[in-house]
Amino acid sequence: MYKRFDPTESMRLVKHYITSMTDKSYDNLPYWLLLPNKKPAEAAHCRVDDAELVGSWYEGLTCAMRMLETDEGEDVRQSLRRHLMRSWGEHGLRFCEKYPWTHTVHSSFHEMGYILPAMNLICEEYPEDTEAEKRTSELIRGMRELVIERKVRTFWSGDSPEPEPVYEFPNDVYLKEGGFDLTRHTGRGEQAIRNALMLPALVRRWELRGDEVALDLATGLANYVLGVSRYFNYRMEFFGHVHSAAWFAYGLVYLGRLTENRTYIEKGKAIYDYIRSISSSFGWVPEYAQWHPMEEEHCETCCVRDMIICAAELTDCGYDEYWEDVNSFARNQLMENQIRYSGYVTVDNSKPDEDGITYRDIDKRMIGGFTGGSEPNSISLTRFRSIAGCCVGTAPSAIKLVWDRAVTNQNGACVVNIPCEKETDDYKLESFIPDKGYIRFTANKDLTAGFRHYGFYDHDLCFLINGKKAEADTSGRIIQFELNAGDVLELVFRIETEEKDEKTRGRIFKVMWRGCDVVDILPRGEHVRLYQRDDSVPPYYPGPDDVEYTGAANYGPTQVSAKPNK
């Protein structure tokens, strides 16, 4: 028996982490820094907790609660909202609060890429919140005021006006006391791409509110990065931070789709294709491109999330082939990068928490987090960001996207894009992959049902309706049938374990596939081995709804008595 792809369970774990890894003494302020390899393990505050995290965790927790259709966690969500609504300042920018662990109080344009999506969510969910609307509008207009607008090219051959808006920020840091101080910088480099991370949120703001200033700023930043910055070469290859480039890429595709500008779509697609060329087929994405030797790279979950969202955007633009990546990346590396077991963690609950540091129940609280740096076959606990606060904030948006698009309406048909388990008023979808080559779709009303045609279906493929063989046209991308209420449509195909050699992270791995799921990788990794998808032992759940605790120390087969899967 093998574990099945279960987005709902993954999202329950996300909700657990976000609501557990907060500091009640500071109104549920998140802990970004988690150090599971220390003895005892600890979580500690740092400046970013009140910068990007209050934005990304608000968005992540909102995604989790919406998908799970629950109000549990609302107290933490409202705490994050309160944090977000504090510390606004000059030019509409949001600054961090002055905590004991905070040094220079500043605003980073990179961080506005996390703040603005959360503000869009608040404005969408709470239309009566005039303060949130005011802050969002002022943030966009304040950033527009701060950019350098390049209007004329002055060269040895003469002057020529820029035909399109071209905007860049003078620096990546804006000090609360002092504004732009060009002797200060984040040290990250790559200011052009990192300062443009708010691109998708600017486009979203325009889509939600028709905010022309947001569209203007998005267009000017996109044009600068694609042109004058020289960040990308003619093939849209680059040297640097994959998370920033992939995030920018899906913003480009999104911008191009809404403005019907094919150039933006094609440029975004080319960036995606380059990152895909240095990634694995199952979703391991390097943190940097051409910066370190590939064998030294690690996979930040944020990068996997960006690639899933960008691939989905490309399907919206008519590139149906990218469904392969949405499906494979989500059910493989995205799921494996989530922490589900913590028996290796040393906990000392006798040690009292300090101001800014917590030791309490770290082993239980860390369940559901995401790694900031995995190898294809393992998570190294000695690596900084082995578990990263940024990733737990971004991953839920990819999980919810996959859940929302598992079944979509395409030309009047309910099309199964992602094999998983999902039930609505109209249908019940059940997937038995990777244990069996079997998917069952039960119609709760008269409808047209279809399956997206993936290559792994093609081994002795057959269809049954109410137990009787049904003929189907399998030549296209969608295989569909007319069903009456109560009809049961079954897709059956032969599934076997296939061993495929794949070069990723600079070496050859033997990857064991069953259909679209990776069930093992050789050589096996350490410290935390990935792709242990044997379902002969129960999973380890963190909460009272899913588990009965019989030991106070760590998770493990002798400490936990798990209830059956729901």
Q: What is the mean pLDDT of residues 359-365?
A: 97
Instruction: Kindly give the pairing relationship between strand 468-470 and strand 497-504.
Output: unpaired
User: Which of the four pLDDT bands, split at 50, 70 and 90, describes residue 381?
Assistant: confident
H/E stretch holding 152 reads strand 152-155
Q: Is the pLDDT of residue 554 over 60?
A: no
pLDDT tens-digit profile of 94-122? 999 999 999 999 999 999 999 999 999 99
Structure tokens at 277: 């060329």
Per-residue pLDDT, 546: 33
**Closest C-alpha among 352, 378, 385, 137 to residue 243:** 385
Q: What is the DSSP string of 487-540?
A: -EEEEE----EEEEEEEETTEEEEEEEETTEEEEEES--SSEE----B-SS---
Which CATH number is associated with domain 12-406?
Answer: 1.50.10.10
Q: What is the mean pLDDT of residues 132-146?
A: 98
Q: Is the pLDDT of residue 538 over 80?
A: no
Q: Is the pLDDT of residue 290 over 70?
A: yes
Q: Is the pLDDT of residue 473 over 50?
A: yes
Beta carbons of 522 and 509 less than 8 angstroms apart:
yes
pLDDT tens-digit profile of 404-415? 999 999 999 999
**Closest C-alpha among 265, 109, 139, 162 to residue 213:** 139
Percent of the chain whose predicted confidence (pLDDT) is above 90: 90
Per-residue pLDDT, 478: 95
Per-residue pLDDT, 266: 98
Q: What is the mean pLDDT of residues 6-32?
A: 97
Structure tokens at 250: 């899906």
Per-residue pLDDT, 560: 29
Q: Is the pLDDT of residue 443 over 80?
A: yes
H/E stretch holding 396 reads helix 389-404
Instruction: Kindly give the pairing relationship between strand 33-35 and strand 507-514.
Output: unpaired
Q: Is the pLDDT of residue 369 over 80?
A: yes
Per-residue pLDDT, 536: 65
pLDDT tens-digit profile of 219-275? 999 999 999 999 999 999 999 999 999 999 999 999 999 999 999 999 999 999 999
Structure tokens at 484: 């009456």
Instruction: Quote the CA–CA distance of 563 and 566 in Å, as a whole number.
Output: 9
Q: Is the pLDDT of residue 384 over 80?
A: no
Q: What is the mean pLDDT of residues 8-36?
A: 97
**In a 3-state reduction of DSSP, which class is residue 355?**
coil
Lowest pLDDT segment from 6-15, 165-174, 542-551: 542-551
Would you put residue 524 in left (φ > 0), alpha (ψ -120 to 50) or beta? beta
Q: Would you kindly state where each structural domain of the chain is located, as residue ranges?
A: 12-406, 408-492, 501-562
Q: Is the pLDDT of residue 553 over 70?
A: no
Domains 12-406 and 408-492 share a fold: no
Q: What is the mean pLDDT of residues 319-324?
A: 97
Structure tokens at 39: 């003895």
Lowest pLDDT segment from 23-37, 288-302, 534-548: 534-548
**Closest C-alpha among 535, 435, 506, 502 to residue 282:** 502
Instruction: Quote the CA–CA distance of 113 and 109 in Å, as a whole number.
Output: 7
pLDDT tens-digit profile of 173-208? 999 999 999 999 999 899 999 999 999 999 999 999
User: Which of the four pLDDT bands, split at 50, 70 and 90, describes residue 558?
Assistant: very low
Q: What is the DSSP string of 277-308?
A: HTS-TTS---SEESSS-GGG--B-HHHHHHHH
Please tell me whether the peptide bond between 106 and the residue prior to it is cis, using omega within 30 degrees of 0.
Answer: no
CATH 2.40.160 fits 408-492, yes or no: no
Q: Is the pLDDT of residue 555 over 60?
A: no
Does 383 or 15 have the greater pLDDT score?
15
Instruction: Quote the CA–CA distance of 274 and 175 in Å, as a whole number.
Output: 36
Q: Is the pLDDT of residue 216 over 50?
A: yes
Per-residue burial over 353-370, b = 16 or more CB atoms within 10 Å of its CB, e = otherwise: eeebbbbeebbbbbbbbb
Mean pLDDT of all residues belonging to the chain = 92
Instruction: Quote the CA–CA distance of 367 and 364 in Å, as a whole number.
Output: 6
Per-residue pLDDT, 458: 87
Q: What is the mean pLDDT of residues 419-441?
A: 97
**Closest C-alpha among 262, 166, 153 to residue 217:** 166
Q: Is the pLDDT of residue 390 over 70?
A: yes
Please tell me whether the peptide bond between 100 and the residue prior to it is cis, using omega within 30 degrees of 0.
Answer: no
**Closest C-alpha among 292, 297, 275 to residue 376:** 297
Instruction: Kindly give the pairing relationship between strand 468-470 and strand 462-465.
Output: antiparallel
